Amino acid sequence: MIIALNNKSNLSKDEFIKYQQNLSNINSSNKMILCPTFLNINNFNLTNFSLGAQNVSMNNDGAYTGEISANSLKSYNVEYTIVGHSERRIYQKESLEEINEKIKKLLENNIIPILCVGETKEERKNNKTEEKIKEEITSAIEGLSDSDKDKLIIAYEPIWSIGTGIIPSNSEIEEVFKYIKTFLPNNKILYGGSANEENIELLNQCKIIDGYLLGGISLKPEKLKVFISKLEK
Ligand code: 13P
């Protein structure tokens, strides 16, 4: 399984150094990926995790003030990058075209994109979940070769579940995962949204899940260790 930690906009320099010490003794058979803030990427020193970023510029190096290019991420040994997180789509108004460009830039630099998709509560209520997922996936993979498409990791993160403590039922998760597989049959699919040490046993009954993208619990190493040990039982 893949366990990816999304620190979001958290952990100052000193906090991150202490945090890494707490993560350093995690011995897991799972593929562990840590996605710290851009600044903390420079202080990453774990050997039991691969390094990820939370975002990337849609442009190459150049006159784009405040942006970080895929080439620059690669030079800091970033291997994975989250793209199209709902928080960026909503707060930064990231468009479908921008997300497609970002994925292309990452692939050109041999960085694996972790593409986030998911519906709002309203969309689920109005039976628009598949329509939303289809739009987010087809636009993201537009213009990619089949072999590049296969490199993507998908994270299904229902927006109504992120940070709310509410998770979808296993059958709801299975339905969406199967739908995603109609576009991307060869890709790993993660679940994200309020996954924690208390609901992992239930989620883990869902055999279609290839791993998890964790927000809140990523900041709590002790709870994270319980999560991992339950997952490995
Ligand atoms: P939470 O685990 O805090 O719900 O966040 C999930 C998420 O957005 C990971 O990218």
pLDDT tens string for the chain (233 positions)? 999 999 999 999 999 999 999 999 999 999 999 999 999 999 999 999 999 999 999 999 999 999 999 999 999 999 999 999 999 999 999 999 999 999 999 999 999 999 999 999 999 999 999 999 999 999 999 999 999 999 999 999 999 999 999 999 999 999 999 999 999 999 999 999 999 999 999 999 999 999 999 999 999 999 999 999 999 98
The residue whose CA has the least distance to atom 1 of ligand 1 is: 215
The atom number, within ligand 1, closest to the CA of 163 reads: 4
CA distance 44 to 35: 10
Contacts of 53 (CB under 8 A, 6+ apart): 35, 38, 41, 68, 73, 78, 80, 81, 82, 111
Q: Residue 90 is encoded by which pair of tokens?
A: 């909503």
Which helix (H) or strand (E) covers residue 52, if one does?
strand 50-53
pTM over 0.95: yes
Asked if 136 and 154 touch (Cβ cutoff 8 Å), the reply is no
Cα–Cα distance list, 197 to 120, 193, 206, 215 (Å): 24, 13, 16, 12
User: What distance in angstroms lies between residue 7's CA and the mean position of ligand 1's atoms?
Assistant: 9
